[in-house]
Amino acid sequence: MTTGHRITIEQSTDLVRVVHDGHVIAESRRPLVLRETGCPVRYYLPTADVRMDLLSPSETHTYCPFKGTASYWSLDGAKDAVWAYSDPKPEVAEIKDHLCFYETQVV
């Protein structure tokens, strides 16, 4: 990794809930907490804890030199609200099969 840039990932037992338009989209007691230099703390939730039936795949893809290429999903009325790294870089391999939401609530 680049000098001064750091990513740490920890397993958490916090209850993390994602609510959109009054619907629980995701709820997990096994989120990964990702801390990255210069970025807000992000919770990555296991795919099994996410209502995938409420997400629509997006055409959007972004590239992070530290994590790899992200794919996005949209919620009704919220474009590209969710992302995941299907093939993350080895340094952050734990986030594979986990999704991250812009808006999360730690309960």
In this predicted model, what pLDDT tens digit does every residue of 33-83 receive, in sequence order?
999 999 999 999 999 999 999 999 999 999 999 999 999 999 999 999 999
| In-domain check, residue 64 | yes
CB atoms within 10 A of CB 55: 19
Looking at the 3D structure of the chain, how many domains does it have?
1
Residue 32's pLDDT is 97
pLDDT tens string 2-39: 468 999 999 999 999 999 999 999 999 999 999 999 99
Q: Does the global pTM surpass 0.85? A: yes
**Greatest CA separation for the chain:** 43
Instruction: Indicate if the pLDDT at residue 1 is higher than 60.
Output: no
Write the single-letter amino acid at 53: D
The answer to whether the beta carbons of residues 95 and 69 sit under 8 Å apart is no
pLDDT, position 60: 97
- Is 90 part of a structural domain of the chain? yes
Whether 41 maps to a domain, the answer reads: yes
Is the residue at 91 inside a domain?
A: yes
* Domain membership flag for residue 34: yes
Answer yes or no: are the C-beta atoms of 101 and 28 closer than 8 Å.
no
2, part of any domain = no
CATH of the domain at 85: 2.170.150.40
| Domain of residue 37, residue span | 7-106
Say if 1 falls within a structural domain: no
The predicted structure's pLDDT at residue 58: 97
Predicted confidence at residue 106, as pLDDT, reads: 73
Residue 13 in domain: yes
Tokens encoding 22: 């009054």
